[in-house]
Structure 1
Amino acid sequence: MTRTRFDHFPCSIAQTLNVIEDQWAWLIIRDIRMGNRRFTGLQQTLGISKKVLTARLNVLHQHGLIELIETGNPRGGYRLTQKGQELMGVMQMMISWGDKWLYGGSGPITFTHTCGKTSHAKVVCDQCGEEILPGSMQVHPSDQMPEAEQKNWFRYFEVAET
Structure 2
Amino acid sequence: MVRTDFTQMRCPVARAMAVLGERWAILVLREAFYGTTRFEEFERNLGIAPNILSARLRALVEHGLLEKCATCGARHEYRLTAKGRDFFPAYVALKGWADRWMTGPDGPPVLLQEAATGREVTSPPLLASDGRPLMPEAVRVLPGPGATPAMRARLLAKVAEDA
Q: TM-score, normalised by structure 2?
A: 0.80
Q: Which amino acid aligns with 2:39?
A: F
Q: 1:148 to 1:7 in 2, by over 3 A?
A: farther
Q: Which amino acid aligns with 2:119?
A: K
Shift of 1:4: 3.6
Matches within 5 A, 1:20-35: 20-35=20-35
Aligned-residue CA RMSD (Å): 3.1
- Aligned match of 1:37: 37
Shift of 1:46: 1.4
Deviations 1:45-82 (A, max 9, x none): 21222111111111111111101234446312111000
- Aligned match of 1:87: 87
In 2: Cα distance, 1:49 partner to 1:57 partner: 12
Q: Which structure would you say has the larger RCO, counting Cα contacts within 8 Å and 6 or more residues apart?
A: 1
Task: Decide which of 112, 137, 140 is 2:142's aligned counterpart.
Answer: 140
- Aligned match of 1:149: 151
User: Quick check: which one's helix share is greater?
Assistant: 2
Shift of 1:8: 4.9
Q: 1:5 to 1:123 in 2, by over 3 A?
A: farther
Q: Is the 8 A contact 2:96 2:123 kept in 1?
A: yes
Which segments of 5 or more consecutive residues in structure 2 lack a partner in the other structure?
A: none
In 2: Cα distance, 1:129 partner to 1:67 partner: 41
What secondary structure sits across from 1:77 in the alignment?
Answer: strand
Residues 1:115 and 2:132 aligned together: no
**Identity of paired residues, percent?**
27
In 2: Cα distance, 1:51 partner to 1:63 partner: 18
